[in-house]
Structure 1
């Protein structure tokens, strides 16, 4: 009894046109949930042993975008369950290593000779384990490390591959990571002990010390000492959800943790065993029996059948601590459901003895427990397709085997990777930027800008971090920022709506239709984002005097609705009845000072541009400004504030009016207007956008404005540097002319010749032989060039531009 590669769910849906790319079919198929208007969704969550990085942001933000589209755009009710992997091989290793290293540091609070010797031994051990080209007989010391690395790994550092004829990738990235780690430790060992604090020293030698301590003492940790591991996982789970909140990712409806379901997972494994699709090994482990599963009529490796025989992926799926004796398995492809715990590993009781869940079984057991025999969607990063999700699918259908051959998951959604320099961003490769570092420390990204990047890329496609990608993201955000500001401002001045049809109504309806068609086409957000950009361009190109109030409002409300649905505006509901997103307005406290300031600045600036400013005019305009009392000056100058900017501007304008004549007053006032815009308000994150024949637009300083200013400043810097370089080269060229042509071939400037003509051109070589005709011709040309340079130098000297000698 065979099962088809994929069974199309039958039933009805209120969104019959919606199609979704399904990894089970590797094609777009109609989306038909098990229950009309309701979706059951299980997402693979984080393995919590380190901070989340931008690669994780790619997965979870993109998942959040699709979840919001299904809920807020297509109006499904979504039950979203996510797991937390808080026990697996990586966590066991990291938790154990961290525990042992913390204990070592407590026992050795000061960096003495014993600690440095331990670190040196750990460093050598780390090199032997991870840099295999450096054989055990190679003498390597911290002093000689760079030379040894250049000898053995120079080709890899230069971009080469470990295997000739192949492209460098993750393997080479991992080698570079181990080299960097070893180099950092070597430098710590070379430095004078007084140059590093204990904290700094221990940080630099962390990885080698953790590795050797675990090899020496890891087995001594008791299997029921769960605190060794949960101390690590609880900390990083909390940090993960803090990161998700910073990225505006919605919380799951339900969270399941492996450590809270040990008994249920053991029972789940038992049923698979009872269904004759698993077997127990001599060490107390339980393996999934792929041959028995297929003999029962089920297909295996349906997501990525081409990877079925990939031993590297299979080994990675089993984990670093798994059974190394392959002879215990009936087939190479069989995988562990339950692992007999070895010394130093956490364990839970089972009928096979102390053990712990295999990696894949946790999701099957917990998802089945929450969502039952079938679910609509299962999601995760594309790297989970095989073996993780393929194994989940197999063991779950083995668990639920009742003769009906029902499909456990109807739609698998796999998010594309975020890569850097051609390599997947990965904790194990250490080629990542953490989410909190990117947002809070470097401030390279915001929640909104990262989400825009992922919206501009297909959800299942890989995204490469590049300058072009950053520019595209910033341009889109700036375009929407400016649109909202202009639409809100234009509504104030728009003529009242009449029976007249809005000018842009057809363009708006066309855009709405194109956005819907794109999102129905497997959530094609890149097309939807481009349609929104084109709509804004059409709005900007329209003659404002022709537009009705409805034009501004309708387009503003549509764009607002879409950015809300995409999650670009916090957790605002789709339809708020207002226009805009967070960040286009300044605080209410600042408004009461900035708007009066902007008003008097506009009046002064327009008068100065018209060259009609007078001291009396300045007095008249400034007198309309509300006075602001400031606290008395104390030891420290007061912090910049909107009130202070208003007072300083008013005072400076009055002082200028009383200090300069009317001819210079226009320039002085314009300079003050520029300063308050570019300096005083800018440092308060407020910008006045000057507009022709219109009042300046008051707006916050956005990332786009900051980037544009940085680019202008960089261009200005480069221009100034180029100018200085040209001047220096001209000066050096001029200085070469200081020497008279009659002297250039004579000592001390040259000792190659023994006789010269009256002009100083050589006629005889040093040994007394006559110079050849060709040589004389060349020397006369050099002499003539020097004559011209000398004449320029003399001319420059007379007008003082030749510089100092």
Structure 2
């Protein structure tokens, strides 16, 4: 993922450098330098940005431009600052956002960033009425992409010529397995036989597997998550290796497919270490085949989540010349130097010699070194030509097996800290209003700053205390989550709205429950608003109208307070609560309708209603209506049921004439295929009701049929009839909560039945024990004499039994007597 730390190597025309730095610094600087300068000038910048914003606001006011009282949490100032666009007219807003690094499917961590960004973008566009130009980049070349694409190419090539698992293939995979162990699971012997892997890894990494930390770490985090990922990866390979070494009976082709699937992740880096430098890097299709695939999948995922497309999309591969020009200008200004291999490094010493301390940036430098080792893998190359260990590459000389672009220093490719600079300035110029990114998409864990007016830093998504990331493989992809119906685009967006945009988000059961409750509450509200009866009448009570005005004011305040969506969601919920608890008979229907339209406009504006525009005049959101093809059958069925149910519940009871009158309605003669299930339910219901006309228990039986058609027949088709006192039943889709409630009810009933069966079995078991007569129970070779009741008097040796033993036997005899009498009684039935 393009790091938002990369983004501005732009002219610093509005930060403190323009006021306090030497003229020579009016150049395109990489982001790390901007961070260093920020550290040096942080107080000056904060004061300047705040005063500059105030000056811009004053200028806008003097020019007659009326700006909303919007304040945004700005990572540049670490405070909320008034939002004042660069545009003198106060309308146009330029926004540059870090997009994905496209080498794998997008996961829920990406959804967190892009959905949250989309929410703010919609609020600015639809609520504050700004004309937003939203530009997003696609990182389609970096070290991870090159490595992944190259590995996949080599793997496919290897499989194509090794379609069966031969001894040579096994030997290659064993070497790959050993190399993977050596690099990633150092507590294990690389020569460990695959068959012993599971036992030994559980022993060596017992602490980590039980949730503890690695030696030297205070608590478990990303390092431990990565170790668990490696353990799982090797486990798959070890299992299939053991199986291959034992027996390969069965279909060789099927076994080969399973073998390669499970061994792939250990085989990929090994094949790359052998042949990575030998591929034809001038064949860019090796790399673009991967990136195009995942870019397309990313865009589909975003559209499935109802995220608006960018106004413009930029790709790193399309800006090679611009990036090279950026780097060349830095070299000309003596802040960069060229090594013999054609790489270009930023010169930290030259920067410091110009009077700008860099020492305080060292924590970032150390972290970047670690990140490089983890992220670049085999691509990282140690060089003795760097003048300082802290210097970093602006331009990398392309090595064998890596794609390249032409530059003044030969074939090469962008470094980490420059590509966004070229793309952002090319599309939006030397200044822009907003830059956004996410901690989830850069991996060093530190906060860097950007040289823009407003930086919006989206909080990341975490799982069990560890950040969700591709490198940790601790993620659920967006398409998996949607396909499994773990989430819907609406339910996921609701969770993010409830949590705010800049704070970290950990999805917990409590948060999911809160989101479901909020969605169901709004669902029920819209269903009531769809009912014409709720919007009719002539009552003139103004209390709810005042509640609506107060809610509007509260939402405006929340949105102006740095897009405080949790506050907005709470306000919507509170207004609905007030409606639900109000006496509907005295509510002014105009106020009710106004509330329905206002809540609708908000959920539309927040992106909770698909592509429906914020100013749509239709009340409610999608999902609360039943299928169109079902309506010709559902509404007559509901009406028929209402009539029958009301008559059956009356004191007079239902008459045969009432039954005949209720079921006589003419229905459509032609039924399309998709409507047949609904037509069948209606037909069956009408037929069963008709058969009860002459029944003495017609009322009771009809009520049972009404319950069944509601709770089973229609429910199984996803339709629910919500009965209401003195009003027609609401015809509505089944909700998630309804399904859960029914499942819980069925589970309780099943548990109750199991307990009953257990009690019955126990009773039968006890009853069976009584089959033996108490008169015969002791007549065994353990005793030699008995009295008239069958109680023993002497043991097998002829000795008289002690009184204590006789007393105990008498108690057993009496229990058996009762049991036997019960058994005899059961036989007589």
- Partner residue in 2 for 1:417: 460
Q: Which has the higher contact order (CA 8 A, sep 6+)?
A: 2
- Partner residue in 2 for 1:227: 285
Matched, 1:623 2:664: yes
Q: CA-atom RMSD, angstroms?
A: 3.6
Q: 1:186 aligns with which of 220, 238, 245?
A: 238
Matched, 1:703 2:736: yes
- Partner residue in 2 for 1:118: 172
- Partner residue in 2 for 1:797: 823
- Partner residue in 1 for 2:5: none
Q: 1:199 to 1:534 in 2, by over 3 A?
A: same
Q: CA deviation at 1:797?
A: 2.6
Q: Distance in 2 between the 1:460 and 1:762 partners?
A: 88
Q: Distance in 1 between the 2:294 and 2:773 partners?
A: 76
Matched, 1:460 2:502: yes
* CA displacement 1:507-537 (0-9 Å, x = unmatched): 1111111112112111111111011101100
Q: Distance in 1 between the 2:812 and 2:491 partners?
A: 60
Q: CA deviation at 1:291?
A: 4.2
Correspondence list, 1:652-691, <5 A: 652-657=688-693, 661-663=695-697, 665-691=698-724
Matched, 1:157 2:216: no
- Partner residue in 1 for 2:337: 279
Q: CA deviation at 1:576?
A: 1.8
Q: Distance in 2 between the 1:148 and 1:281 partners?
A: 47
Q: TM-score scaled to structure 2, two decimals?
A: 0.84
- Partner residue in 2 for 1:405: none
User: How many residues align structurally?
Assistant: 765
Q: 2:482 aligns with which of 439, 444, 464?
A: 439
Look up the SS of the partner of 2:543 in the other structure. coil
Look up the SS of the partner of 1:249 in the other structure. coil
Matched, 1:261 2:319: yes
Look up the SS of the partner of 1:20 in the other structure. strand
Q: 1:341 to 1:674 in 2, by over 3 A?
A: same
- Partner residue in 2 for 1:79: 133
Q: 1:148 to 1:27 in 2, by over 3 A?
A: same
Matched, 1:488 2:547: no
Q: Distance in 1 between the 2:175 and 2:475 partners?
A: 28
- The question of whether the paired residues in 1 share the 8 Å contact of 2:368 and 2:444 is answered with no
Look up the SS of the partner of 2:395 in the other structure. strand
Q: Distance in 2 between the 1:65 and 1:364 partners?
A: 25
- The question of whether the paired residues in 1 share the 8 Å contact of 2:791 and 2:813 is answered with no
Q: Distance in 1 between the 2:772 and 2:331 partners?
A: 97
Q: Distance in 1 between the 2:115 and 2:235 partners?
A: 35
- The question of whether the paired residues in 2 share the 8 Å contact of 1:92 and 1:345 is answered with yes
Q: Distance in 2 between the 1:724 and 1:596 partners?
A: 42
Look up the SS of the partner of 1:360 in the other structure. coil
Q: Distance in 2 between the 1:696 and 1:168 partners?
A: 54
Q: 1:252 aligns with which of 310, 314, 326?
A: 310
Q: 1:732 to 1:28 in 2, by over 3 A?
A: farther
Q: 1:740 to 1:627 in 2, by over 3 A?
A: same
Q: 2:435 aligns with which of 378, 397, 405?
A: 378
Q: 1:793 to 1:365 in 2, by over 3 A?
A: farther
Q: 1:21 to 1:325 in 2, by over 3 A?
A: same
Moved more, 485-494 or 350-359: 485-494
Q: CA deviation at 1:44?
A: 0.6
* CA displacement 1:62-115 (0-9 Å, x = unmatched): 110011111111121111110001111111111111111111222223344444
Moved more, 58-67 or 463-472: 463-472
Correspondence list, 1:592-741, <5 A: 592-610=632-650, 612-626=653-667, 628-629=669-670, 640-657=676-693, 661-663=695-697, 665-724=698-757
Q: CA deviation at 1:202?
A: 2.2
Q: Distance in 1 between the 2:462 and 2:793 partners?
A: 66
Q: 1:112 to 1:456 in 2, by over 3 A?
A: same
Q: Distance in 2 between the 1:567 and 1:700 partners?
A: 21
Q: 2:297 aligns with which of 239, 262, 271?
A: 239
- Partner residue in 1 for 2:605: 565
- Partner residue in 1 for 2:79: 27
Q: 1:589 to 1:174 in 2, by over 3 A?
A: same
- The question of whether the paired residues in 2 share the 8 Å contact of 1:508 and 1:535 is answered with yes
Q: Distance in 1 between the 2:585 and 2:680 partners?
A: 38
- Partner residue in 2 for 1:533: 573
Q: 1:53 aligns with which of 107, 114, 138?
A: 107
Q: 1:326 to 1:638 in 2, by over 3 A?
A: closer
Look up the SS of the partner of 1:228 in the other structure. helix
- The question of whether the paired residues in 2 share the 8 Å contact of 1:640 and 1:684 is answered with no
- The question of whether the paired residues in 1 share the 8 Å contact of 2:72 and 2:83 is answered with yes
Correspondence list, 1:311-350, <5 A: 314-315=371-372, 319-321=376-378, 323-325=380-382, 327-350=384-407
- The question of whether the paired residues in 2 share the 8 Å contact of 1:89 and 1:321 is answered with no
- Partner residue in 2 for 1:401: none
Q: TM-score scaled to structure 1, two decimals?
A: 0.86
Matched, 1:140 2:193: yes
Q: 1:157 to 1:318 in 2, by over 3 A?
A: closer
